[in-house]
Amino acid sequence: MLPIEQALDAYRRADYATALRLLKPLAQGDNAIAQAHLGYLYYNGDGVPRDVAMALRWIRSAAERGVAGAMSHLGTICYEGSGLPQSFEQAMLWYRRAADQGEPAAMTKLGRMFQDGTGVVRDMKQAAEWYWQAARRGDAQGQLLLAASCLTGEGFPKRPAHAYLWGMAAMIGGAAGADALLARAARENDAATRAQMQVRLGDMYFHGKDIPRNYNAAAALLKGPEAANDPRALSIMGVLHLSGKGVARDPAAAADWFRRAAERGETNAQFNLSVLCGNGDGVPVDRAAALMWCRAAALNGDSRAMYRMSFLYSAGQGVERSAEMALAWATLAAARGNLDAVQTRASLMQRMSQEEVDAATRIAESLLAGPTPLAESA
């Protein structure tokens, strides 16, 4: 571990004596990150007597060298007038510079200035936009203020469902007052909508879409009864249990989650369950079930399953060997961008007659127009 990494690890663990010892020589050696964190120690009086002048020296140096967190911190010092003359203009300047570098806390503070009309003309639309930018980057206070905006209709159209979603995110992030706002939002949404938003937020945490990825939060949101009948939630829980992310690794539990999702038509779960059944991971080896679920996923449009079906027919594993069926599935997978299938299709066609290729084309067309996946694969 590099010295700066050791220093930051100590800082995060609140081992301020160790952090101070490691940060001082790094800051004196012109390391901007070390300068910023050394400044924070002096400003907060963590591990040293509080010394605002010394804090400003290091924080300003880091801010002028482009450290976004230091810029945001300097903006707060200017806003509060603590150690410097109060200046909303300078606060706005440093917050904007930090926000331009993606610092979410600075975005929230900019939004608050626009909401309160501090140093600027009050503008709830701009405030809400800054809250949105901060919220999607994981700032819990920004999530809370975004939820409030969605609940009141200030800055954004009133959207109680979105207020409930972002209220949950703010509570997970530990924002003060999130529980009270979430209770208000809950009263404005029925049980079905609340469950839908809970699943949606869990999906967002799992994929890292519009919020930083957080497998622990995804598992907490998706394991409960609110998500028990949602195929997407069931499938994600299967992936989490299979990978050991957010929960202890448990292939048997993963297979159960995948089965519940697969029976509800969730394509990813069908493919993943077919792999588990084929490998005997978490369940006894069951070639027939593996083939059934692979075929179901393939007929639902999963290119991985289509490619797997091509392999099975080419090798005669669990099915009668058929070059025409192998080419048909490879053609369908290739059409969906599966690069391995593109190569397999070309290789198969080189070894087949034109009549066989034409037959495979007709099979592929019939597969696309065939019965529902489970009926076909039963």
How distant, in Å, are the alpha carbons of 132, 197, 245, 354 from that of 156? 10, 18, 35, 61
**Environment class of 288 (CB within 10 Å of its CB; exposed 0-12, middle 13-18, buried 19+):** exposed
Say what percent of the chain tops pLDDT 70. 98
The pLDDT, as a whole number, for residue 370 is: 62
Query: Per the structure block, which two tokens stand in for 166?
Result: 């972002």
CA dist., res. 48 & res. 341, Å (int): 63
The count of other CB atoms within 10 Å of the CB of residue 284 is 7
**Environment class of 176 (CB within 10 Å of its CB; exposed 0-12, middle 13-18, buried 19+):** exposed
Mean local confidence (pLDDT), 343-350: 96
Mean local confidence (pLDDT), 14-42: 96
The pLDDT, as a whole number, for residue 293 is: 97
- 373 pLDDT tier (thresholds 50, 70, 90): very low
Q: Please, are residues 74 and 59 in contact by the beta-carbon 8 Å criterion?
A: yes
Q: Please, are residues 108 and 141 in contact by the beta-carbon 8 Å criterion?
A: yes
Of 209, 234, 231, 197, which is closest to residue 219 (Cα–Cα)? 234
Mean local confidence (pLDDT), 187-205: 97
Q: Which of 182-186, 249-253, 296-300, 366-370 has the lowest mean pLDDT?
A: 366-370
CA dist., res. 152 & res. 185, Å (int): 10
- Options 1.10.150.20, 1.25.40.10, 3.40.50.1110, 3.40.190.10; CATH for 1-102 is 1.25.40.10
**Nearby residues of 330 by Cβ (< 8 Å), 6 or more positions away:** 306, 307, 310, 341, 344, 345, 348
In tens, the pLDDT along 62-115 reads 999 999 999 999 999 999 998 899 999 999 999 999 999 999 999 999 999 999
Q: What is the mean pLDDT of the chain?
A: 95
In tens, the pLDDT along 296-335 reads 999 999 999 999 999 999 999 889 999 999 999 999 999 9
The count of other CB atoms within 10 Å of the CB of residue 228 is 12
Q: Please, are residues 155 and 129 in contact by the beta-carbon 8 Å criterion?
A: yes
Each domain of the chain, given as residue ranges in start order, spans 1-102, 302-378
Within 296-353, strands assigned E span none
CA dist., res. 177 & res. 181, Å (int): 7
In tens, the pLDDT along 106-151 reads 999 999 999 999 999 999 999 999 999 999 999 999 999 999 999 9
CA dist., res. 242 & res. 246, Å (int): 11
Coil, strand or helix at 61: helix
CA dist., res. 210 & res. 352, Å (int): 48
The pLDDT, as a whole number, for residue 9 is: 97
